[in-house]
């Protein structure tokens, strides 16, 4: 199999479902070896099955340095190296406003959202760094439109994703010139992203929301994406041939948050009529 990532080895956190799963299977198509670290044994086992055993699954918690190191060791033992670490596991706060977070849950909710979305990335990076230095590899972190703009979540999620932007830039500096560090910032996505247990939202899924209605009059590109729509951006950043000069960069693929107009989201809605 020949592809942009032929022969490379990647480890993806939260790789058993949603965006992480889409990245994992796209990387397989591009010729990569793939390992996933996920907390759900059943979802991970299903990925292994559907990939005919080409995906190596490690069951663990991204908030544990030991679990992250076990995942790196497992991948290196099987494939001989690690070229790409993708920090992707996340929880969303379902846009819970600060005033709506109960006083007796705010500490636990903060620890959970920042624990998975920020600490999980930091620990994964720490575990992966030695192997990535040896391979002259790269890290890629999943950010979000909430890493740049308000209303993509509540203060917990938005704060955490802003922190990830800083993490990308700082780690890009610290790991240079040996390891490239970049990010991908998707927008609205139809996926099973769950909420924090501390707020009783762990059984909710992002795909259950009326996403089409929420963004139809909001974005220049008012289409709710599916996970596969974003996987190619990770392939691009993982490819030395195609992005060897990129580090400390974040690809915003959010439907055009930064290009919204004041009176209407898109300025070219009349173009088809004008050009026949």
Over residues 86-111, mean pLDDT: 96
Q: What is the mean pLDDT of the chain?
A: 94
pLDDT at 207: 62
Task: Tell me what the mean pLDDT of segment 245-261 comes to.
Answer: 94
Predicted local distance difference test score (pLDDT) of residue 219? 85
pLDDT grade for 15, boundaries at 50, 70 and 90: very high
**Which is the catalytic residue, given 94, 121, 149, 157?**
157
Confidence band for 124, pLDDT divided at 50, 70 and 90: very high
User: According to the model, what pLDDT value does residue 96 have?
Assistant: 95
Q: Rank 140-144, 148-152, 269-273 by mean pLDDT and report only the highest.
A: 140-144
What local confidence, expressed as pLDDT, does residue 269 receive?
87
Fold classified for 9-275? Rossmann fold (3.40.50)
- Is the pLDDT reported for residue 204 higher than 60? yes
**Spans of all domains in the chain:** 9-275
Predicted local confidence at residue 222, as pLDDT: 84
State mean pLDDT over 110-127: 98
The Cα diameter of the chain in Å comes to 61
Q: Say what percent of the chain tops pLDDT 90.
A: 82
Average pLDDT over residues 191-203: 85
Confidence (pLDDT) at 206: 66
- Bond preceding residue 272 cis, omega within 30 of 0: no
1: pLDDT strictly greater than 70:
no
- Whether the model pTM is above 0.85: yes
Say whether 157 is catalytic.
yes
């Amino acid at each position: 199999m020949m592809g942009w990532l032929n022969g490379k080895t990647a480890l993806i956190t939260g790789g058993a479902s949603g965006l992480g799963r889409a990245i994992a299977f796209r990387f397989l198509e591009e010729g990569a070896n793939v390992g996933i670290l996920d907390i759900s044994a059943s979802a991970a086992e299903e990925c292994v099955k559907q990939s005919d055993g080409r995906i190596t699954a490690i069951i663990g918690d991204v908030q544990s340095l030991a679990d992250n190191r076990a995942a790196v060791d497992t991948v290196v033992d099987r494939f001989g190296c690690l070229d790409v670490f993708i920090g992707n596991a996340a929880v969303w706060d379902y846009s819970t406003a600060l005033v709506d977070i109960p006083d007796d849950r705010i500490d636990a909710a903060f620890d959970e959202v920042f624990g998975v979305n920020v600490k999980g990335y930091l620990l994964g990076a720490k575990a992966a760094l030695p192997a990535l230095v040896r391979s002259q590899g790269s890290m890629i972190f999943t950010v979000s439109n909430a890493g740049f703009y308000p209303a993509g979540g509540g203060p917990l999620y938005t704060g955490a994703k802003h922190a990830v932007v800083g993490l990308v830039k700082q780690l890009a500096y610290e790991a240079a010139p040996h390891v490239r560090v970049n990010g991908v910032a998707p927008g609205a996505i139809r996926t099973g992203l769950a909420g924090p247990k501390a707020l009783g939202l762990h059984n909710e899924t992002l795909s259950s929301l009326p996403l089409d209605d929420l963004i139809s009059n909001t974005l220049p590109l008012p289409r709710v994406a599916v996970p596969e729509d974003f996987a190619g951006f990770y392939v691009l950043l993982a490819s030395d041939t195609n992005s060897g000069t990129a580090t400390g960069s974040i690809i915003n693929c959010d439907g055009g948050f930064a290009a919204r107009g004041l009176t209407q989201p898109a300025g070219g809605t009349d173009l088809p009529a004008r050009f026949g």
